[in-house]
Chains A and B, each alone.
Chain A
Amino acid sequence: MSRIDLKRLILGDKQADRVVPPSGFTAQLTIFAAAAMAFLAVFAMALSLASGRLAARWGNELAQSSTIRIVAPLDQRQAQTDAALRILETTAGVAYARALDDAEQQALLAPWFGADLDLQALPVPQLIEVIEEDTGFDAAGLRLRLAAEVPGAVLDDHSRWRAPLVAAANRLRLLGWISAVLLGASVAVMVTLAANTALAANAQVIAVLRLVGATDRYIAQAFIRRFTLRAFGGAIIGIALAMAAVSFLPKASDTAGFLTGLGFQGWHWFLPFLIPVLSALVAFVATGTAAKRALKRLA
């Protein structure tokens, strides 16, 4: 079907379009199925993009820092903090480390204890922020050294709880794209079935067209154009409804959870417009293949 005249396919030919009789059932079936698949594809795309954003955010935060807590009696806390910092200076993979000052620690606790908290009145551990290099550091080795030289130090490696979440978000993103691909395949199957039905129902028309000198290319084009336009039109309806539905979802916010971020952001709003084009492309290939087989069978 590579020789199909693209210009004629897009612009159409009024006479040629009338040659194949209109078939209400397959037309409605194709438009409805394309609309439904496009509607679902928009949500799969939104889910995938939201998961991607989540994975990226968690991944970036994971890469940023680790924390060491110094839990020691007040008179030993500064000495142990200095010891921990010395160890960190000589640890490969640590880009930067610093002890948080009292104001910073107070700010961290303010949501729970209020802004007037006296740190000296509570056994609050000293926190050390550790910034890693891209290569990261050997967390197990660092723990061993800290245990030997700084008994009150506890390394909080964020990857323990963030890594599975990032993996889950990435899997969710992958599932979203797999769903979109499966929806595309479903469109192809549905269009193939509808096209086969239409071709079989029009066997007599095809015989007459052949009798008067119509080539297989001409006959196939009449069917391909029809199904391609139906799939495109149905997908337009589907994405219009889906984007309206997505726009009514709650907007993403820092305080809310993952579900409030399920939608499109920025230029991602333009991505669903690819779906009708892809849907038409799938219908074009599926009908072309079905027509080629059917015309060979009917020869």
Chain B
Amino acid sequence: MIELENVAYSYGGGALLSEISLKLAPGSFHFLTGPSGAGKTTLLKLCYGALLPTHGDVTLFGEDVSRLERDDIALVRRRMGVVHQDCRFLDHLTVSENIALPLTASGRPASAGQDDLTELMAWVGLTHRADAVPPELSGGERQRAALARAVIMSPDVVLADEPTGNVDWEMSQRLLRLLVELNKMGKTVLIATHDLSLIRAAKSQIQARVLRIANGRLQLAGADL
């Protein structure tokens, strides 16, 4: 599904990541942890083709990403849902339009995904905020809207970068429950976070693999988590 083999990434002359090998199997759940600046976001970007490795191979759904054109990467990305800490909404569109953006961008008629959209907004508890614009949402509502946008295309993989970074404990647990629910539906989930309490909470609900980035290298986290 997503496979990184002996990947290195350098920026500004310095090696940020090196000798990274990672395989995300279908239906698996992963946490990626490490201190701020360790390279979690960079690794996530390599996983969805936003960055190309300076060394090694990244394979997305059987396609070598270095051989893909930009538009081909866009097509591959439709099979993935990405959630950012800052959500990245288009502020001039309503919440429902933002959530439906992947459908619009893939050229599907607005009516085609209407049922999915209604269902999804109810699932994340944002039906009553459908016509609001993103600046009117609270932190938790933004993250839930971002999650809804990430899964509206029914992707095989969900990649989340610090999805609970800007929300309180209660909301982070709610988001976690949604991500766990997605995994139980068969989606592969990779969450980058430095919130160890979130990881501990998840491990009580689901079989999760925890990876840690330290000194630019990836390692399996110990039992202390």
Contact = CB atoms under 8 A, between A and B. Distances in A.
A215 B71 contact: yes
B78 interface: yes
Nearest to A295: B70
Contacts of B93: 18-19
Interface residues of A, number: 22
A6 interface: no
Interface in A1-26: 14-16, 18-19, 21-22
A146 to B, nearest CB: 80
Given A18-B97, A21-B90, A210-B74, A218 B107 contact: yes
Contacts of A18: 92-93, 97
Interface stretch (B98-106, B186-194, B217-225): B98-106
B144 interface: no
Contacts of A214: 74, 105-106
Nearest to A5: B107
A205 B91 CA distance: 9
B74 A208 contact: no
A227 B110 CA distance: 24
B101 A212 contact: yes
Name A's interface SS: helix
Interface in A191-226: 205, 207-218
B78 A213 contact: yes
A15 B74 contact: no
B214 interface: no
Interface in B107-159: 107, 110, 149, 153
A216 B71 contact: yes
B102 A19 contact: no
Interface string B58-93: 000000000000110011011000101000111011
Given A208-B89, A211-B88, A213-B78, A16 B70 contact: no
Contacts of A208: 88-90, 101
A216 B74 contact: yes
B105 A213 contact: yes
Given A14-B110, A15-B110, A19-B90, A212 B105 contact: yes
B106 A213 contact: yes
A209 B78 CA distance: 11
A267 B50 CA distance: 56
A206 B90 CA distance: 10
A19 B92 CA distance: 8
Contacts of B149: 212
B102 A212 contact: yes
Nearest to A212: B102
Interface string B6-26: 000000000000000000000
Contacts of B106: 213-214
A213 B153 contact: yes
A211 B50 CA distance: 8
A19 B104 contact: yes
A214 B70 CA distance: 10
Given A21-B90, A208-B90, A213 B110 contact: no
22 contacts: A14-B110, A15-B100, A15-B104, A15-B110, A19-B104, A19-B105, A21-B92, A205-B90, A207-B88, A208-B90, A209-B101, A210-B50, A210-B74, A210-B77, A211-B82, A212-B77, A212-B149, A213-B77, A213-B153, A216-B70, A216-B74, A218-B105
What 7 A-B pairs come out closest when comparing CB atoms?
A214-B105, A213-B78, A215-B71, A212-B102, A21-B92, A213-B77, A215-B74
Interface of A: 14-16, 18-19, 21-22, 205, 207-218, 295, 299
